[in-house]
């Protein structure tokens, strides 16, 4: 059963259920992340590599299970997959709440739920909105996701500073509420019958088909560069803010990330006018500025200049990633299937994130400071963008 618009030119009513469900789930994701950081920060003699390792274990499932997760989303009613994913996330939060479980292990369970949630969330959009409303539906999803990140980062960190049990309880409750709302989504028919082929072989075939398109290769590599840098910045800030700016708790750190998120909202809003889909090459300019702003952040040592740099960094990041995502979604929808395309995209982008965070984790264990790490990341970002320009500029 496919949802129909409730009026001409309007969005289907069921899309609002999806927006509410994914808002609560993303809110809980970010609340849980800062709660785990607060747990770690309250422990004595936590090694410098531990916090970036938390991000790494969250990402492992996106990479290791990509060949299976896209197929699960495409061969089963996606609303039921969303419910199951929230249940897995709640289980990870419950392990933290119960105590006695290594935070890295518990948080990896949350990452498994998130990796299952993503292909179903984006894959169900064409089924709810239809082809004519797909771009608008993606805009609503992306906007509500950013708002959920802002809310979860700000309020979640404050709750965690006040009480870790309250924060964990809130996150678990939000996951369960998201699952309940997902019950209102239509039970759409699976897009693919159960496949007998080896999932790894099928995934490899889909990847080769998807990457045959030069525009898609540019988008995949550009998106991987963006998300690898973004993940690394997020974990570096957790060490950089206390050391350089004297941040005392996770609320202080979350306020810095809020400036980054607000910048992404502003850049995303300006993208349709500055970088339309048929001018994807223009995305290289904000990508270059990203590298320069990361270097500037590494050289900053004052609160308000750092906030201004993070705001500008988020703005150029939004200008870069929005046309990249739109290009990937457009090509994927018409080729290998919605859930499979998102899982493939997750594989590349989260592999880049895992590599970047892992490299910083290794650097932190070798006593490389966060300011030095930002300078190195900015330089690598500039090199990566120049390589992308050299390889794809004339063909995209």
The predicted-structure confidence for 248-257, as pLDDT tens digits, reads as follows 777 777 788 8
Domain count along the chain: 1
Question: Which phi and psi angles does 12 have, rounded to 5°?
Answer: -60, 145
Beta bridge partners of 5: 12
Burial of 1 (0-12, 13-18, 19+ CB in 10 A): exposed
- Specify the pLDDT at position 330: 66
| Res. 9: pLDDT tops 60 | no
- Specify the pLDDT at position 131: 56
In-domain check, residue 3: no
- Specify the pLDDT at position 239: 86
- Specify the pLDDT at position 389: 78
- Specify the pLDDT at position 381: 93
Distances (CA, A) of 247 to 241, 250, 297: 5, 8, 16
Whole-angstrom Cα distance, residue 379 to residue 363?
A: 16
Quote the tokens at residue 320.
Answer: 């870069």
| Res. 350: pLDDT tops 90 | no
Q: Judge whether 367 and 242 are in contact, CB under 8 Å.
A: no
Confidence of residue 2 (pLDDT cuts 50, 70, 90): very low
pTM strictly above 0.75: no
In-domain check, residue 199: yes
Quote the tokens at residue 246.
Answer: 């004297």
Q: Judge whether 47 and 98 are in contact, CB under 8 Å.
A: no
Share of the chain above pLDDT 70, in %: 86
- Specify the pLDDT at position 7: 40
In-domain check, residue 127: yes
Q: Judge whether 291 and 386 are in contact, CB under 8 Å.
A: no
Confidence of residue 8 (pLDDT cuts 50, 70, 90): very low
Q: Judge whether 231 and 321 are in contact, CB under 8 Å.
A: no
Closest-CA residue to 322 (of 297, 286, 355, 348): 286
* DSSP collapsed to 3 states, the chain: CCCCECCCCCCEHHHHHHHHHHHHHHHHHHHHHHHHHHHHHCCCCCCCCHHHHHHHHHHHHHHHCHHHHHHHHHHCCHHHHHHHHHHHHHHHHHHHHHCCCCHHHHHHHHHHHHHHHHHHHHHCHHHHHCHHHHHHHHHHHHHHHHHHHHHHHHHHHHHHHHCHHHHHHHHHHHHHHHHHHHCCCCCCCCCCCCCCCCHHHHHHHHHHHHCCCHHHHHHHHHHHHHHHHHHHHHHHHHHHHHHHHCCCCHHHHHHHHHHHHHHHHHHHHHHHHHCCHHHHHHHHHHHHHHHHHHHHHHHCCCHHHHHHHHHHHHHHHHHHHHHHHHHHHHHHHCCCCHHHHHHHHHHHHHHHHHHHHHHHHHHHHCCCCHHHHHHHHHHHHHHHHHHHHHHHCCCC
Whole-angstrom Cα distance, residue 146 to residue 140?
A: 10
- Specify the pLDDT at position 132: 59
- Specify the pLDDT at position 71: 73
In-domain check, residue 5: no
Distances (CA, A) of 83 to 90, 117, 119, 172, 194: 11, 9, 13, 13, 20
- Specify the pLDDT at position 5: 43
Top-confidence residue, 60 or 166: 166
In-domain check, residue 6: no
- Specify the pLDDT at position 375: 96
- Specify the pLDDT at position 392: 58
Distances (CA, A) of 302 to 287, 305, 370, 385: 25, 6, 15, 28
End-to-end CA distance of the chain: 37
The predicted-structure confidence for 260-293, as pLDDT tens digits, reads as follows 888 888 887 787 778 876 777 888 899 999 999 9
In-domain check, residue 1: no
The predicted-structure confidence for 365-375, as pLDDT tens digits, reads as follows 888 999 999 99
In-domain check, residue 184: yes
- Specify the pLDDT at position 86: 96
- Specify the pLDDT at position 262: 86
The predicted-structure confidence for 193-236, as pLDDT tens digits, reads as follows 555 567 778 788 878 877 777 777 788 888 899 989 988 998 89
The predicted-structure confidence for 314-333, as pLDDT tens digits, reads as follows 999 988 887 787 777 667 66
Cα torsion angle, 327, 328, 329, 335, sign: positive
Maximum C-alpha span of the chain = 60
Weakest mean pLDDT among 29-33, 183-187, 197-201, 237-241: 197-201
The predicted-structure confidence for 113-145, as pLDDT tens digits, reads as follows 998 998 888 778 777 776 556 656 666 777 788
In-domain check, residue 7: no
Q: For the domain that residue 169 is a member of, what is the CATH number?
A: 1.20.1250.20
Q: Judge whether 95 and 172 are in contact, CB under 8 Å.
A: no
Top-confidence residue, 191 or 328: 328
Q: Which domain holds residue 322?
A: 13-392
- Specify the pLDDT at position 209: 76
| Res. 4: pLDDT tops 60 | no
Whole-angstrom Cα distance, residue 182 to residue 121?
A: 10
């Amino acid at each position: 059963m496919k949802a129909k618009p409730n009026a001409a030119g309007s969005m289907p009513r069921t899309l609002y259920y999806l927006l509410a469900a994914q808002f609560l789930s993303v809110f809980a994701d970010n609340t849980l992340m800062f709660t785990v950081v607060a747990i770690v920060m309250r422990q004595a003699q936590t090694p410098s590599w531990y916090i970036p390792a938390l991000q790494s274990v969250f990402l492992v499932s996106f990479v290791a299970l990509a060949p299976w997760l896209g197929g699960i989303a495409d061969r089963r009613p996606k609303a039921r997959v969303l419910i199951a994913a929230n249940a897995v996330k709640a289980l990870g939060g419950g392990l933290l709440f119960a105590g006695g479980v290594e935070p890295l292990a518990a948080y990896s369970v949350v990452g498994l739920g998130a990796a299952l949630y993503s292909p179903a969330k984006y894959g169900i959009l064409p089924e709810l909105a239809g082809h004519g409303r797909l771009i608008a539906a993606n805009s609503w999803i992306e906007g509500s996701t950013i708002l959920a990140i802002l809310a979860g980062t700000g309020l979640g960190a404050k709750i965690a500073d006040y009480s870790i049990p309250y924060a964990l309880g809130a996150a678990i409750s939000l996951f369960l509420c998201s699952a309940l709302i997902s019950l209102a989504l239509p039970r759409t028919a699976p897009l693919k019958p159960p496949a007998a082929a080896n999932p790894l072989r099928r995934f490899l075939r889909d990847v080769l088909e998807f990457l045959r398109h030069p525009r898609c290769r540019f988008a995949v590599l550009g998106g991987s560069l963006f998300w690898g840098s973004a993940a690394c910045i997020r974990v570096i800030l957790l060490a950089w803010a206390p050391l350089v700016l004297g941040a005392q708790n996770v609320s202080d750190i979350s306020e810095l990330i809020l400036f980054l998120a607000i910048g992404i909202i502003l850049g995303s809003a300006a993208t349709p006018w500055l970088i339309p889909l048929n001018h994807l090459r223009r995305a290289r300019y904000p990508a270059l500025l990203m590298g320069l702003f990361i270097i500037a952040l590494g050289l900053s040592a004052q609160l308000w200049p750092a906030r201004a740099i993070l705001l500008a960094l988020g703005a150029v990041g939004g200008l870069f990633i929005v046309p990249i995502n739109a290009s990937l979604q457009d090509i994927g929808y018409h080729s290998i299937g919605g859930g499979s395309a998102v899982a493939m995209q997750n594989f590349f982008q989260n592999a880049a994130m895992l590599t970047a965070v892992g490299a910083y984790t290794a650097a932190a264990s070798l006593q490389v400071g966060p300011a030095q790490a930002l300078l190195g990341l900015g330089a690598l970002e500039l090199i990566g963008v120049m390589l992308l320009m050299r390889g794809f500029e004339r063909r995209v």
